């Protein structure tokens, strides 16, 4: 499994030869101006919620790639009504895709579309594929529901928001990693806007001091799991 950080909350995941793209927000992110959205591969686009900073580039990418849009019922149907391929899910449900199993799990946040219309309830994804298991939290507060995830799935990596203001901060992400029983964390949803700027060294140090690993990738950088 190869994981690429495209900035903000956008993650590319390659499982076998299938490309899964999560929450594409690239063209609106000045920090990601070196990423060309016209070359990003996507067989599936997973969306955690309907906020602009998670769906901005969905249609541009889906038009070119014919990707299947996977999200909660309201978001998936919204894109389905516009003619895109879609797969609706809801909280607690999972599905075996050709790259692995995906479960839509709880998040504490909100989920309106940019025009204010209803985008269902926000979520995160647990993905089991190629003998690796990852959790993508989406935008969320720290929540006790995270404790449910390791009851079913032994995680190899947790991708957690750490920028505060709109989501958890680094200290809550540290507690989340306990709840998730996963010491390997990839931080996201930080630095994009003034509200969510963080001190990288301090953040990594906090994890290191607890015997855990917080990875912060450069935009465009990948890791192999
Ligand atoms: Ni959001
Ligand atoms: Mn967000």
pLDDT tens digits, 33-55: 999 999 999 999 999 999 999 99
CB 118 within 8 A of CB 51: no
pLDDT tens digits, 132-155: 999 999 999 999 999 999 999 999
CA-wise closest residue to 113 among 154, 72, 60: 72
Give the pLDDT of residue 225. Answer: 95
Return the SS3 of 199.
coil
Residues 6+ apart with CB under 8 A from 183: 177, 211, 212, 213
Residue 51 Cα to ligand 2 midpoint, Å, equals 6
Residue 13 Cα to ligand 1 midpoint, Å, equals 20
Residue 79 Cα to ligand 2 midpoint, Å, equals 19
Residues 6+ apart with CB under 8 A from 203: 162, 170, 187, 214, 216
Other C-beta atoms closer than 10 Å to the C-beta of 9 total 28
Report the chain's mean pLDDT, rounded to a whole number: 98
Q: Please tell me the number of the ligand nearest to residue 9's CA.
A: 2
Average pLDDT over residues 74-83: 98
Q: In what order do the strands lie in the sheet with 86-89?
A: 86-89, 68-72, 44-46, 18-22, 11-15, 2-5, 222-224
Residue 111 Cα to ligand 1 midpoint, Å, equals 7
Give the pLDDT of residue 211. Answer: 98
Return the SS3 of 119.
coil
């Amino acid at each position: 499994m190869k994981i690429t950080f495209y900035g903000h909350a956008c993650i590319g995941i390659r499982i076998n030869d299938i490309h899964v793209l999560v929450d594409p927000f690239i063209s609106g992110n000045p920090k990601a101006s070196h990423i060309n959205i016209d070359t990003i591969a996507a067989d599936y686009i997973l969306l955690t919620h309907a906020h602009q900073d998670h769906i901005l580039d969905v249609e541009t990418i889906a038009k070119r790639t014919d990707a299947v849009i996977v999200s909660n019922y309201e978001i998936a149907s919204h894109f389905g009504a516009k003619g895109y391929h879609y797969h609706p899910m809801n909280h607690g449900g999972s599905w075996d895709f050709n790259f692995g199993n995906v479960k839509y799990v709880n998040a504490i946040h909100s989920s309106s579309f940019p025009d204010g219309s209803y985008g269902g309830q926000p979520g995160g994804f647990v993905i089991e594929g190629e003998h690796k298991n990852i959790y993508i939290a989406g935008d969320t507060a720290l929540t006790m529901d995270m404790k449910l995830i390791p009851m079913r799935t032994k995680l190899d990596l947790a991708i957690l928001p750490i920028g505060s203001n709109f989501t958890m901060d680094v200290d809550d992400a540290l507690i989340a990693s306990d709840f998730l029983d996963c010491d390997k964390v990839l931080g996201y949803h930080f630095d994009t806007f003034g509200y969510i700027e963080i001190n990288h060294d301090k953040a990594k140090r906090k994890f290191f001091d607890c015997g855990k690993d917080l990875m912060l990738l450069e935009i465009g950088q990948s890791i192999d799991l």
